[in-house]
Amino acid sequence: MHRIISIAYIFLFTLIFNSCSYKEEESLIGRWESATKPFNLGATLIFEEDSSFTEIKEARVKYSYKLAGDTLISTSFSGLTGEKIIDSANVVIFQDTLILVRGKIGDQQETIMKRYDSLYTNTNGIIGFWKWAHQSGREAISEYHPDGKAAVSVLIDRRKGHYFTKGDSLTIVMPGTTLRDVYFELKGDSLFFPDKFAPLGKIFYRVKHENNSAE
C-alpha cells in the first residue's frame, strides 16, 4: 500500500514539474534578442515577472578572440560585406584596467577600459565585462568569455515601461509611447510578431543562461 502511495506521489510531482516547465517555456518572461541584426543593429526585449518591460537598442558585434602572450587577436566579419576582419592589439591589464594598444610605435592608439562586471570566478585576466568610451561618444561594453567568444556593444537607446497580455495580444506602456494590442506568437524559444507593421521587430530568440556565460 505504501509503495502504491509513493508511486502516486512521484507521478503527481512529475506532472506538476512538467506543467511548470511548459508554462515557463511558453511565457514571455525573460530576455529576448532580435534574430536579425542588419548592419549589426539589434534590439533586446526584457519581460519581467512584475510586468516591467525594457527595450534595449544597440549596435552589437560578436566575434572570436585568442591571446598569444600579451597580444590579443580578434576575428570578426563585416556587417556589410561579410568580409573576414582580423585585428590585433597589445594587452596590458592592471587591477581593474584593461588597455589595448594598436598601431606602430609613434602612431599608437590606446583604448582604456574599466572592469564593469564579471560573472566568472577568475577576475584577474581579460575574461569579463569592460566599459569604455566609444568614438561616437557613447558608452561601449566589451565582453570576453572563457570559450573564446567575445562581443562589443554600443547602447543606442534604452526604454522602460510595463506590459500586459490578454491571450495573444500584447500591450506595452512606456513614457510617451503606448503600443496596444500587438499580436504575438510564442513557439518554444522563439517569439514572433507576424503583423506587417511590427514596431518591436519581427522575430526574437530567448536568451538562455548557461554556467559560466554572460547575460
Q: Per the domain annotation, does 70 fall within a domain?
A: yes
Q: Per the domain annotation, does 3 fall within a domain?
A: no
Q: How confident is the model at residue 214 (pLDDT cuts 50, 70, 90)?
A: very low
Q: Per the domain annotation, does 115 fall within a domain?
A: yes
Please, what's the largest Cα pairwise distance for the chain?
86
What pLDDT was estimated at residue 120?
60
Global pTM exceeds 0.85: no
Q: Per the domain annotation, does 204 fall within a domain?
A: no
Q: What would the grid cell of residue 14 be?
A: 512529475
Q: Per the domain annotation, does 9 fall within a domain?
A: no
Containing structural domain, residue 136:
58-156
| Mean pLDDT across the chain | 83
Number of domains forming the structure of the chain: 1
Q: Which residues pair with 203 in a beta bridge?
A: 192
* Domain of residue 118, CATH code: 2.40.128
* Cα end-to-end distance, the chain, whole Å: 49
Q: Per the domain annotation, does 215 fall within a domain?
A: no
Q: Per the domain annotation, does 46 fall within a domain?
A: no
